[in-house]
Amino acid sequence: MEYKKLVGLYNSIEATSKRLEKTYLVAEFLKKTDIDDIPKIMLLLQGRVFPPFDERTLGVATRMVIKALNKSLGIDADAIEREWKRTGDLGITAENLAEKKKQMALFTTKVMVSKVFTNLRKLAEMEGSGTVDRKVSLISELLTSASPDEARYIIRTVLEDLRVGIGEGVLRDAIVWAFFEDSIHINYDTESKSIKPENRELYNAYVEAVQEAFDILNDFAEIAMLAKTSGLKGLKAVGVVVGKPLKVMLYKKVKDIEEAFESVGKPAAFEYKYDGFRIQVHKKDGKITVFTRRLEEVTAQFPEVVEYIKKNVKASSFILDAECVGYDVKSKKYLPFQSISQRIKRKHDIQEMSDKFPVEVNVFDILNYEGKSVIKSPFRERRALIEKIVSPLPYSIIPAKQIVTSDLDEAKRFYDAALKAGEEGVMAKNLDGIYKPGSRVGYGVKVKPVMESLDLVIVAAEWGEGKRSGWLTSFSLACYDPDTGSFMEIGKVGTGVKEKVELGVSFEQLTELLKPVIIKEKGRDVTVKPMVVVEVNFEEIQKSPTYSSGYALRFPRVIRIREDRSPDECSDLALVQDLYSTQRSR
């Protein structure tokens, strides 16, 4: 397929804010796409060439793009820099410059989707000497034959900053519309941009089937292929496979223990809510792999966890869901998440880190046992399995501390004990609940005393002035809108604060993290790729026309950087709305 066609789709998606119209555009496009191109299109629509759990990145810095533009268009670097300063966007810069060149030359070779895809994938594989030059060549090869608007999207994709406004919801529904239209007759009305499925229940069942398969596989490219080649049966057959990380189940917050019982029923399991970071541990054929909740592999960073699993879990194949908590080597007191968070990204001095900041593994769920998926088994059975296979060894590995009770006072006492032990609170779980990857369905809830914080992503910042001119000092925070895949601003932190933004997070730290992901600069304002997630406390949520989310935070404070969360896992608009309305009713 010609890349031009995909660019046409990008343009029309960008031109509408209507979710159903976007879905329709993508679905119609997929219907006409050759089977070989379907996975590539699904990925490129998300601005990527690898599925989200794949750690490979393209590693293209803005200066490489400038070199590539220089090489392909024969325009000198200063002129490119000037145009970039003027537009503030390298994609648009590429488009404008290519437009100028267009008047001089005619494009003879067509850019094909497969070529873009292959060259981009090659970018991720390059390492060693001469990498920059080879990367520049791969990009300029594409640009040489690209039309102006193709150039814009190539550059945005290369910089991993596509921003056309497609979220998971649109892709999921588009798969249903494209491949199951014959069974469900969606009846999209192009005038009113609405749908009237013949059978709403059936339609919802298909949407759910795609969603469920996605929550396990995490890859729309694979799901689209499954839907096309094996239909509903294929989607339903998607199982939990050891070695392949799946999305974790999430938990809603409730006000207190009474509400916890209301939500999960009686009797309920109560567990300590450990304040650490979540891991998914896979074991198969003697090999142990540890993933974060972002599904990134961190096996090498946690050698002691691998040891504990090897020695203290008696089964040959499984997937465990667990929380790693740091503790002080001397006092054996549990430490808050921040103390061990540095271990997640660490690539060197691993043994030293493990000796200094050891973790205890608290196993609270099991998703696969001896090759069989157990996510549909009731929680009581999954817990029994954990108790059967985990030999507890405090400060190494233990099943999460748990009681099962119908008694309010007993549950409250357990909650108090958890807080006393320095934990965040408790989880309450429905004993018959299944494990629903990726969803906050209410089979489990959390109770903690502090007001819910939000995990927000930094989308923009400002350079400081005077003494602080080398640092970014003000940060714009945004929540996630899963429908459009975009980030909606909800507030700013930092302005006027002296040294620290807040507790443990300094300007320096944030500047270091954000500098490499700056994508636009105009005066003191910079736009950054939405990558850095921070946990934010606040006094209150207010309605506000100032920010795109329609809400603003009163007195936001950044309390920590969440290395373990990806931007699309940060708090979504629905959660903000939810918090806004519950704070009102109090």
Number of residues that bind ligand AMP (CB under 6 A): 11
Quick count: other Cβ atoms within 10 Å of Cβ 64? 22
For ligand AMP, the binding residues in 359-398 under the rule CB under 6 A are 364
Region of 76-84, 168-176, 188-196, 269-277 interacting with ligand AMP (CB under 6 A): 269-277
Quick count: other Cβ atoms within 10 Å of Cβ 530? 23
- Cα 380 to Cα 239, 242, 375, 400, 442: the distances in Å are 21, 22, 12, 13, 16
Beta strands in 92-177 (DSSP E): none
Q: At what angle do helices 200-217 and 220-236 cross, to 10 degrees?
A: 120
Q: Judged by CB under 6 A, which of 273, 283, 382, 557 binds ligand AMP? A: 273
CB nearer to ligand AMP: pick between 92 and 427:
427
CB nearer to ligand AMP: pick between 227 and 427:
427
Give the whole-angstrom CA distance, residue 299 versus residue 311.
16
Rounded to a whole number, what is the distance in angstroms from the first to the last CA of the chain?
56
Closest distance to ligand AMP from the beta carbon of 288 (Å): 20
CB nearer to ligand AMP: pick between 160 and 271:
271
CB nearer to ligand AMP: pick between 161 and 275:
275
Q: Cβ-closest residue to ligand AMP?
A: 278
CB nearer to ligand AMP: pick between 251 and 487:
251
Query: What 8-state DSSP symbol labels residue 467?
Result: G
Q: Is the dihedral of CA 162, 165, 169, 170 positive or negative?
A: negative
Q: Report CA 198 to chain centroid distance, whole Å.
A: 34
Region of 38-46, 266-274, 296-304, 539-547 interacting with ligand AMP (CB under 6 A): 266-274
Region of 63-71, 271-279, 403-411, 553-561 interacting with ligand AMP (CB under 6 A): 271-279
What φ, ψ does residue 443 adopt, rounded to 5°? -70, -20
Q: Are 275 and 269 in contact (CB under 8 A)?
A: no
For ligand AMP, the binding residues in 314-343 under the rule CB under 6 A are 323
Q: Are 457 and 570 in contact (CB under 8 A)?
A: yes
Closest distance to ligand AMP from the beta carbon of 446 (Å): 5
Closest distance to ligand AMP from the beta carbon of 491 (Å): 20
- Residue 95: helix, strand or coil by DSSP? helix
| 329 phi-psi bin (left φ>0, alpha ψ -120 to 50, beta other) | alpha
CB nearer to ligand AMP: pick between 251 and 291:
251
Tokens standing for residue 174 = 């588009």
Region of 132-140, 265-273, 463-471, 473-481 interacting with ligand AMP (CB under 6 A): 265-273
Closest distance to ligand AMP from the beta carbon of 278 (Å): 3
- Check if 273 is active-site: yes
Query: What CA dihedral angle connects 488, 446, 294 and 513, to 10 degrees?
Result: 60
Region of 77-85, 270-278, 466-474, 513-521 interacting with ligand AMP (CB under 6 A): 270-278
CB nearer to ligand AMP: pick between 24 and 364:
364
Q: Judged by CB under 6 A, which of 24, 220, 274, 334 binds ligand AMP? A: 274
Strand partners of residue 359: 326
CB nearer to ligand AMP: pick between 33 and 453:
453
Closest distance to ligand AMP from the beta carbon of 275 (Å): 7
Give the whole-angstrom CA distance, residue 226 versus residue 355.
46
Closest distance to ligand AMP from the beta carbon of 501 (Å): 21
Closest distance to ligand AMP from the beta carbon of 387 (Å): 14
CB nearer to ligand AMP: pick between 271 and 360:
271
CB nearer to ligand AMP: pick between 274 and 302:
274
Closest distance to ligand AMP from the beta carbon of 297 (Å): 17
Of residues 247, 273, 448, 520, which has the active-site annotation?
273
278 near ligand AMP, judged by CB under 6 A: yes
Q: Are 289 and 303 in contact (CB under 8 A)?
A: no
Query: What CA dihedral angle connects 337, 342, 344 and 346, to 10 degrees?
Result: -170
For ligand AMP, the binding residues in 424-463 under the rule CB under 6 A are 427, 446
400 near ligand AMP, judged by CB under 6 A: yes
| 541 phi-psi bin (left φ>0, alpha ψ -120 to 50, beta other) | beta
* H-run or E-run covering 120: helix 113-125
According to DSSP H, which parts of 218-329 are helical? 220-236, 257-264, 303-312
Closest distance to ligand AMP from the beta carbon of 424 (Å): 7
Quick count: other Cβ atoms within 10 Å of Cβ 207? 19
Q: Which residues contact 78 (CB under 8 A, 6 or more apart)?
A: none
Give the whole-angstrom CA distance, residue 21 versus residue 192.
10
CB nearer to ligand AMP: pick between 429 and 492:
429
- Cα 551 to Cα 457, 477, 478, 577, 582: the distances in Å are 15, 11, 10, 8, 14
Region of 176-184, 254-262, 267-275, 457-465 interacting with ligand AMP (CB under 6 A): 267-275
Closest distance to ligand AMP from the beta carbon of 244 (Å): 20
Q: Which residues contact 124 (CB under 8 A, 6 or more apart)?
A: 49, 50, 56, 57, 58, 59
Active centre residues (catalytic): 273
Residues at the site binding ligand AMP, with contacts judged by CB under 6 A: 251, 271-274, 278, 323, 364, 400, 427, 446
